[in-house]
Structure 1
Amino acid sequence: MSYLEAFLLALIQGLTEFLPISSSAHLILPSAVFGWPDQGLAFDVAVHVGTLAAVMIYFRAEVVSLLSAFFASIFKGDRSKEAKLAWMILLATIPACIFGLLMKDIVEVYLRSAWVLATTTVIFGLLLWYVDRNASLVSDEYQAGWKKALFIGLAQAMAIIPGTSRSGATITAALYLGFTREAAARFSFLMSIPIILLAGGYLGLELVTSGEPIHYGFLLTGILTSFVSAYFCIHFFLKAIARISMTPFVIYRLILGFGLMAFLAFN
């Protein structure tokens, strides 16, 4: 890996982690199309650290409020809307943890291919378009009960399939349940904190036990680039969806998916 490759991969991770266009698809594509080598565990950990820092700093007020309310609900019996939301986010995280542990090897062996990426990119793009077009857009994230949280959590678990998009799946599910676009995005972003933290911790443990050599220059490049790009991505995405629908992201997914299919068919 060169510094240019490290920069571009971290930029892609930061820009696509929170958009409904699949970060995994964009990270696998360079190796499939350009023959770039796998970035390795250390770099995966670095970009997870960068994107986690971005979402936590951007939503720092909400994170502090939710954590305070969560512990107050345990020790003081707090029943505020913040406490309820914190518990719903925790509940929504459970399905992805279970699916991730049970399905990781199957996904790595059978589903991590360019054809799967292309197909899921198109299918889940069309699903996002249909749901967004018919969404009632009446609820905010504080109205999520346990059934809604679990439904969105199951959608997040589906995103273990490459090309699905974690944010795309969770936003689609939230829109289907009647969330506004802004609320769907906020709930999706807040849900990403525990799942990225767990995924990064799991990868970090693998890195420690693997004995893989660490290139600290690439590591720092990955952290800083993914942090900056993810932070600005979150900011502008939340600003944009207040004015537009999900259609531009659907169009992008269709172009990406069918373009990849064409490339694979003629190569």
Structure 2
Amino acid sequence: MTWLNLIVLAVVQGITEFLPISSSAHLILVPCLADWPDQGLDMDIALHVGTLGAVMLYFWRDIWQMLAGLWAALRMRRSPGAKLALHIVVGTIPVVAAGLLAKDMVETMARSILVLGWTTLGFGILLHIADRIGLTVRRIEHMGLPDALVIGIAQAIALIPGTSRSGITMTAARLLGYERGEAARFSMLLSIPTIVAAGTLAGLDIYRLDQPVLTTAALYAAGFSFLTALVAIAVLMHWLKRASFAPFALYRLILGAALLAAAYGYIPGFDRCLG
């Protein structure tokens, strides 16, 4: 990989991982459209490690609260931190189960521009509807186990490429009446065990293939994705204090329509991207 390849992929991953626009779709499209070689599993892990570090740094207070809550739970004491940790665990179970059961199917459809087009467009419309009709009266402190499970099931749907893990979980939270900032906050906290699990599985694949995991390029990729993800999270959380998800939904509509036009042959030059 050239430095240009590395920087572009890291910036794209960092920006799109936590915005509701699908990082998987962009990571597939960028090398495809630029006619670059596939970055490989080790680079994918490095990019996700960078974004994982960013979300953990930004939400370090919540993470500390959960750790303290778990310690309190071991001593049979209730706390908001333990409750939040339990909700994160419950919300993670569906995606882990679905990932183990549907791994082969997801990999088969992963590079299909047609799938990316329909999921980008369809879930963009759903995001807009949820944001328009959802109440803004609930915070994470009001969450119960049923809500955590519903959001977790939504996260499992994001295994379909182009759905957007952050987008579908924020959509579910908005439909349940959570404030926009709170929907984004829970979605990002929920990403931590999900990214760890996905990275672990990918790391095992690399180990079985006897490929190197840590390279200088991978370390730089992790650093670039960390910085851009940190900025993207801060910008999103600031934006949602005073505005809606409308720009992200509109972007998805435009991108989804363009992908479908390419998939159905209305835009030439996409032959190498069709799967």
Taking structure 2 as the reference length, the TM-score comes to 0.93
How far apart are 1:141 and its partner, in Å?
0.9
How far apart are 1:215 and its partner, in Å?
7.0
Letter of the structure 2 residue corresponding to residue 14 of structure 1: G
Residue 48 (structure 1) aligned with residue 48 (structure 2): yes
How far apart are 1:111 and its partner, in Å?
4.6
Alignment of 1:132-143 (within 5 A): 132-143=131-142
Structure 2 partner of 1:247: 246
Q: What is the rounded CA distance, in whole Å, between the counterparts of 1:149 and 1:214 in structure 2?
A: 34
Overall identity of the aligned pairs, in %: 47
Structure 2 partner of 1:60: 60
SS at match of 1:244: coil
SS at match of 1:243: coil
Q: What is the rounded CA distance, in whole Å, between the counterparts of 2:213 and 2:142 in structure 1?
A: 45
**Given that residues 87 and 145 in structure 2 are in contact (C-alpha distance below 8 angstroms), is that contact kept between their aligned partners in structure 1?**
yes
Q: What is the rounded CA distance, in whole Å, between the counterparts of 2:257 and 2:250 in structure 1?
A: 11
Structure 2 partner of 1:262: 261
Structure 1 partner of 2:78: 79
Alignment of 1:201-212 (within 5 A): 201-212=200-211
May I ask how many residue pairs the two structures share in their alignment? 266
Can you list the C-alpha shifts for 1:137-181, whole angstroms capped at 9, x where unaligned? 100012111110000000000000000000000000000011000
Q: What is the rounded CA distance, in whole Å, between the counterparts of 2:260 and 2:2 in structure 1?
A: 28
Structure 2 partner of 1:108: 107
How far apart are 1:10 and its partner, in Å?
1.0
Q: What is the rounded CA distance, in whole Å, between the counterparts of 1:180 and 1:229 in structure 2?
A: 25
Q: What is the rounded CA distance, in whole Å, between the counterparts of 1:205 and 1:78 in structure 2?
A: 37
Residue 19 (structure 1) aligned with residue 15 (structure 2): no
**Given that residues 18 and 229 in structure 2 are in contact (C-alpha distance below 8 angstroms), is that contact kept between their aligned partners in structure 1?**
yes
Q: What is the rounded CA distance, in whole Å, between the counterparts of 1:13 and 1:7 in structure 2?
A: 10
Structure 1 partner of 2:273: none
How far apart are 1:35 and its partner, in Å?
2.5
Structure 2 partner of 1:157: 156
Can you list the C-alpha shifts for 1:100-143, whole angstroms capped at 9, x where unaligned? 11111111113531111011000000000001000111000121
Structure 2 partner of 1:29: 29
Can you list the C-alpha shifts for 1:11-57, whole angstroms capped at 9, x where unaligned? 11110000000000000112332322211011011011101110111
Letter of the structure 1 residue corresponding to residue 9 of structure 2: L
Alignment of 1:107-186 (within 5 A): 107-186=106-185
**Given that residues 82 and 142 in structure 1 are in contact (C-alpha distance below 8 angstroms), is that contact kept between their aligned partners in structure 2?**
no
Structure 2 partner of 1:200: 199
Structure 1 partner of 2:221: 222
SS at match of 1:36: coil
Q: What is the rounded CA distance, in whole Å, between the counterparts of 1:2 and 1:101 in structure 2?
A: 34
Q: What is the rounded CA distance, in whole Å, between the counterparts of 1:72 and 1:62 in structure 2?
A: 15
Q: What is the rounded CA distance, in whole Å, between the counterparts of 2:251 and 2:76 in structure 1?
A: 46
Letter of the structure 2 residue corresponding to residue 221 of structure 1: Y
Q: What is the rounded CA distance, in whole Å, between the counterparts of 1:142 and 1:70 in structure 2?
A: 16
**Given that residues 16 and 23 in structure 2 are in contact (C-alpha distance below 8 angstroms), is that contact kept between their aligned partners in structure 1?**
yes
**Given that residues 171 and 188 in structure 1 are in contact (C-alpha distance below 8 angstroms), is that contact kept between their aligned partners in structure 2?**
yes
The answer to which of 79-88 and 46-55 deviates more is: 79-88
Taking structure 1 as the reference length, the TM-score comes to 0.96
Q: What is the rounded CA distance, in whole Å, between the counterparts of 2:41 and 2:112 in structure 1?
A: 19
SS at match of 2:135: coil
Unaligned ranges ≥5, structure 2: 269-275
**Given that residues 20 and 167 in structure 1 are in contact (C-alpha distance below 8 angstroms), is that contact kept between their aligned partners in structure 2?**
yes
Structure 2 partner of 1:96: 95
**Given that residues 41 and 206 in structure 2 are in contact (C-alpha distance below 8 angstroms), is that contact kept between their aligned partners in structure 1?**
yes
Q: What is the rounded CA distance, in whole Å, between the counterparts of 1:10 and 1:195 in structure 2?
A: 19
Unaligned ranges ≥5, structure 1: none
Q: What is the rounded CA distance, in whole Å, between the counterparts of 1:260 and 1:46 in structure 2?
A: 27
Structure 2 partner of 1:5: 5
**Given that residues 206 and 212 in structure 2 are in contact (C-alpha distance below 8 angstroms), is that contact kept between their aligned partners in structure 1?**
no
